[in-house]
């Protein structure tokens, strides 16, 4: 059972993943940073592993080197690569996404503080 804190973090992860543009990828670490916790890249992976059937473009999340570390969670180990190739994403000779060309950096979540209205007397 997830704690409320983890659920809130997972919800942020899902919102970021939903925004990854067609033909782009982002990293677990960049998603964690956008959610406010740069060191939580593994937690992002856990969140995504449980959401691959939720209609989110989880295939667009790769590791920091562009490797398809989540490929086994798609049932067919070639499906993630096939989905990225169908979006025009290219790979280098090591089978990693060419990050210089296809990396998308998500914007950070900002906590909005309620502004206090000044009361005039």
Distance from C-alpha of 107 to C-alpha of 27, rounded to nearest angstrom: 13
Residue 48, C-beta contacts closer than 8 angstroms, at least 6 positions apart? 13, 17, 28, 56, 58, 61, 70, 73
Question: Do the beta carbons of residue 18 and residue 104 sit within 8 Å?
Answer: no
Distance from C-alpha of 16 to C-alpha of 14, rounded to nearest angstrom: 5
DSSP structural state of residue 109: P
Q: Tell me, yes or no, if 58 is annotated catalytic.
A: yes
Residue 40's φ and ψ, nearest 5 degrees, are -105, 30
Q: Which residue is catalytic, options 13, 47, 56, 58? A: 58
Residues assigned a catalytic role: 58
């Amino acid at each position: 059972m997830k704690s409320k804190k983890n659920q809130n973090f997972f919800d942020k992860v899902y919102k970021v993943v939903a925004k990854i543009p067609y033909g782009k990828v982002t990293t677990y670490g960049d998603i964690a940073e956008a959610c406010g916790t740069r060191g939580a890249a593994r937690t992002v992976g856990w969140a995504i592993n449980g959401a691959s059937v939720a209609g989110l473009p989880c295939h667009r999340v790769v590791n920091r080197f562009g490797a398809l570390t989540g490929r086994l969670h798609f049932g067919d180990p070639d499906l993630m690569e096939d989905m990225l190739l169908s979006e025009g994403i290219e790979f280098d000779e090591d089978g990693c996404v060419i990050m210089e060309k296809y990396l998308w950096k998500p914007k950070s979540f900002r906590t909005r503080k309620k502004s206090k209205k000044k009361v005039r007397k």
